[in-house]
């Protein structure tokens, strides 16, 4: 998988989230986080891959999708998977809540069908500093 291509403020937010994810991993899962599995970062396209839609934040290298998490000494977790299993569900909820503090947009499983298997994070500017955290 190629490295993520992101503008500076989005890369900084992702790095800050990774630090928080490491702490949550050790606290909740008792295993060190070793990787974030990144799906899409920069990709020029419409929102939700619709060519007629407004350009996605991915088109500006302002968005990133997390597909899963890798750990030392433990099986990886895919975003959306294990939501019925208490530690995995607690870990994913913690990461999502932390992401809402670092990114202006956080969409994932349960927000809509297009984000059922990943955590979409972006820095889209909205009126009056509004954030979208679903």
Farthest CA pair distance, the chain: 45
| Domain limits, the chain | 8-133
Q: What is the pLDDT along the chain (134 residues), one digit of tens a residue?
A: 568 999 999 999 999 999 999 999 999 999 999 999 999 999 999 998 898 999 999 999 999 999 999 999 999 999 987 678 789 999 999 999 999 999 999 999 999 988 999 999 999 988 888 888 98
Listed in sequence order, the DSSP H helices in 1-56 are 8-24
- Count helices and strands (H / E) in the chain: 2, 6
Contact by Cβ (8 Å): 107, 134: yes
Q: CA-to-CA distance for 79 and 67, rounded, in angstroms?
A: 5
**pTM confidence score:** 0.92
């Amino acid at each position: 998988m190629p490295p993520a291509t992101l503008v500076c403020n989005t890369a900084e937010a992702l790095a800050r989230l990774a630090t928080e994810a490491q702490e949550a991993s050790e606290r909740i899962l008792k295993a060190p986080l070793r990787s974030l599995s990144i799906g899409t970062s920069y990709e020029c396209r419409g929102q939700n891959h619709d060519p007629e839609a407004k350009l996605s934040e991915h088109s500006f290298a302002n968005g990133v999708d997390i597909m899963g998490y890798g750990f030392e000494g433990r099986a990886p977790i895919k975003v959306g998977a294990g939501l019925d299993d208490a530690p995995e569900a607690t870990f994913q909820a913690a990461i999502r809540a932390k992401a809402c503090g670092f990114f202006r947009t956080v969409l994932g499983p349960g927000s809509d069908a297009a984000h059922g298997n990943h955590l979409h994070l972006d820095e889209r500017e909205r009126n009056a500093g509004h954030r979208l955290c679903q």
